[in-house]
Chain A
Amino acid sequence: MPKGIKFFGEGFPNQKTSNFKGKLIVVEGTDGVGRSTQIELLAQWLKVRGFGVVTTGWTRSKLMSSAIEYAKSGNMLDRLTFSLLYATDLADRLENEILPALESGFLVVADRYVYTAWARDSLRDPSMTWIRDLYGFAPVPDLVCYLRIDVDNLIPRVIEAGGMEYWEAGMDLHLADDIYDSFKKYQKKLIEGYDQMAEEHHFEVLDARRSVVQLQNDLRSRIEKIVGEGSRNVVPFAPGGGGVDPMAELVSKKTKGREIEKKFNLLEKHIISRGRGSNAVIKEKAVEPLAGPGANPETNGQRILFSSLWAPHFHIPEDPQSRN
């Protein structure tokens, strides 16, 4: 059923507001919480299920990305102007990518959305009136998944992933003398800001302290509710088969995101070349025999069925090691 689209405020000039078949799904959360990994997995899952998926992320517009880099590299000193660069970036992506995609029936998965800007700007102006009004052009998303974590659990992750960054630590706000204390205070305030918005804007709140797999499963179950209607079109790939999700295997090996994507592109090609909807099983060649965590004893790690990937209510089996 075609639906209209709602905006936070005035919307865009000359914007047709009817017949948006797609859905806008937003993944929010503080820096280092694992948004991009989750979105990558999510996009693959949705694609395998036959949905058209477009992913978009903060500061990724063609128009603005170089100006934002220029500003970040120390050519600008205040948050107000920063807010405006971000707003321009989103406006450009909305008009050139997101809205056209929604119109054509794509699922758009956005890494961060207006809430990021609101959380950040709330430190400058707690009433947030100006920043909310500024984003009046943005459409209200169909679903906001908020990956929630507390600062104490966040810190080791960020340090492990390459350390704290000047802007992520909010160093420009002079909250503390060193980057560690500043990061802690700044991120704590941001999380408080998100928490406040979570109620007001009906976020789906997900506990991001869990393992990648657990969090991914939770994310999928929430998105299921939103996209459920379209999933009827999905042709089961190998009905009745059990097996191990290759995604779980890759995750358990802690493969980096890019490699996941590369492997999956290969897999997808393979699946397509064998013809969708057939009862074919991916040969051993595509995925190496499993050993260790995630290996399926029933198949002896030799042959992997992909039925689970196609089943509408599929969940990734958990990595037993990550439970500890």
Chain B
Amino acid sequence: MFTEPHQYPGKLIIVEGIDGSGKSTQIRLLYSWLEAQEFPVFFTEWNSSQLVKKTTKQGKKKKNLTPTTFSLLHLTDFADRLNYQILPPLKAGMIVLADRYVFTAFARDVARGVHPAWVRKAYDLAIKPDLAFYFHVPLDVGASRILNGRSKLKYYEAGMDLNLAPDPEESFKIFQGRIVKEYDQMVKEYDLIKIDGTQEIQSQQAKMRRIVQEQLIEFKTKRRNYAKRNKVFWRRFSQPEDQQL
């Protein structure tokens, strides 16, 4: 399934890269640009479904997640979002923008020691994106952007569960190094469009927009004139506890 192009009328555009590569900035800029042209756009983010949020949070807090359960929780999150956030807008002929996609799992989980073949088979339920951008930055650039920008590294974010180094920063760098290695290998494996994340923000965005524009030549669907509301395709029966205030 993942190797074949999808048959839906919409378009799926995804961005990938290590933390601090600038991919989130870029996809948000792309979002505004597409919306300004009145394209119907839907945005979805890695690890954001309500279904396993609480479990993941608890597991992270108690530090009892193993590479396999960690991977499976992300896969569950992904399957949930695929069914309720990715497929419906694609079927409705919208442009879906995803901040991180399956390649994040391939990179991170394999860096954690999960078997590369297993994680690829497990994600076979995913659909192939129309465009996949990979933001490449040298390891020290990404790491310094993260280390300067945030107060403290989290346990799993730094890969502390792998016992790579006693110091979180040191561990983070080794872990990110492994992830970059996986990404670099996937550029060829999955034809990811490589973008130099060290360039100016505008020039990266210009390059991205040219490629997206080309992809959208045949794409005519414009947003109808309707009152703007949050795009929710499916509502849960009850509000999750952590959202009840």
Chain A nearest CB, measured from B207 CB (Å): 36
Number of B residues, CB within 8 Å of A:
34
> Which of A10, A62, A70, A74 touches B115 (beta carbons < 8 Å)?
A10
Q: How large is the interface on A (under 10, 10 to 19, 20 to 34, 35 or more residues)?
A: 20 to 34
Chain A nearest CB, measured from B214 CB (Å): 33
Contact flags B73-85 to A (C-beta < 8 A → 1, else 0): 1011001100100
Contact B80 A76 (CB under 8 A): yes
Chain B nearest CB, measured from A253 CB (Å): 41
> Which of A71, A92, A137 touches B118 (beta carbons < 8 Å)?
A137
Q: Does B25 make an interface contact (CB < 8 A)?
A: no
Inside 8 A of A136's CB, which chain B residues have their CB? 115, 118, 121
CA gap between A109 and B114 in the complex, in Å: 27
Contact A80 B125 (CB under 8 A): yes
Inside 8 A of B83's CB, which chain A residues have their CB? 78, 80-81
Q: Please, which residue of chain A has its CB at the minimum distance from the CB of B110?
A: A13
> Which of A11, A14, A81, A95 touches B76 (beta carbons < 8 Å)?
A81
> Which of B68, B115, B117 touches A95 (beta carbons < 8 Å)?
B68
Contact flags B109-144 to A (C-beta < 8 A → 1, else 0): 000111101100110110000000000000000000
Indicate whether A67 sits within 8 Å of B79 (C-beta atoms), given known contacts A91-B66, A130-B124, A137-B118.
no
Q: Does A296 make an interface contact (CB < 8 A)?
A: no
Which one of B47-55, B196-204, B218-226 is at the A interface?
Answer: B47-55
Q: Please, which residue of chain A has its CB at the minimum distance from the CB of B236?
A: A75
Inside 8 A of A134's CB, which chain B residues have their CB? 121-122
Contact A81 B68 (CB under 8 A): no
Q: Does B64 make an interface contact (CB < 8 A)?
A: yes
> What are some 19 contacts across the A-B interface (CB < 8 A)?
A9-B115, A10-B115, A10-B117, A10-B118, A12-B66, A13-B67, A13-B112, A14-B113, A63-B59, A63-B64, A63-B65, A66-B54, A74-B237, A75-B238, A78-B83, A84-B79, A91-B68, A95-B66, A136-B115
Residues of A whose CB lies within 8 Å of any CB of B are: 9-14, 62-64, 66-67, 70-71, 74-78, 80-81, 84-85, 87-88, 91-92, 95-96, 130, 133-134, 136-137
Residues of B whose CB lies within 8 Å of any CB of A are: 51-52, 54-55, 58-59, 64-69, 72-73, 75-76, 79-80, 83, 112-115, 117-118, 121-122, 124-125, 234, 236-238, 240
Q: Pick the 7 closest A-B CB pairs, nearest first.
A: A13-B113, A10-B115, A133-B121, A88-B72, A84-B76, A67-B55, A10-B118
